[in-house]
Amino acid sequence: MFGKKVDVLEGEVGQLKADLEERFGNFQHQITSNNERLEGKFTAMEEMMKKLLEMKTNPATSEVRETTDCHGMGGNSNPLRGRRNSEVEIIEEENDMPPLEPLSIEELVGDMTNGRLILSEGGGIPSPRC
């Protein structure tokens, strides 16, 4: 009788062990896929930040790119024409950026869809619309 109970317990322990190994494998797979997905998002965000930095350091180059990206060579010579808010103040000082506050990962990642990063507070870095 005790031998039968031991056999049953050994079978149950074996089944629990198999279940835990399967769950652990699934968990590892989920971690790996999440890591790959986040790496892709950070790579895309890094590329966007490089483009923004390039636009900040080379405003003439970025203006040329803006006029030729969607409209071909020499397309829209005035990139500000047609925009709704005509009361835009352009500050050309060295300290035109306010002090930066650290952002959390959730604020940085936001929604990465269609090549557009949308920050959680409603701001965003729009991609060119062609």
* Contact yes or no for 110/119 (Cβ under 8 A): yes
Q: How far apart are CA 105 and CA 85, in angstroms?
A: 31
Domain regions of the chain by residue span? 2-76+108-125
* Contact yes or no for 89/97 (Cβ under 8 A): no
The DSSP H or E segment spanning 113 is: strand 111-113
Q: How far apart are CA 118 and CA 124, in angstroms?
A: 4
- 73-130, pLDDT tens digit by residue? 555 555 555 555 555 555 555 555 666 677 666 666 655 555 555 554 544 454 455 4
- 4-32, pLDDT tens digit by residue? 889 999 999 999 999 999 999 999 999 99
DSSP state of 111: E
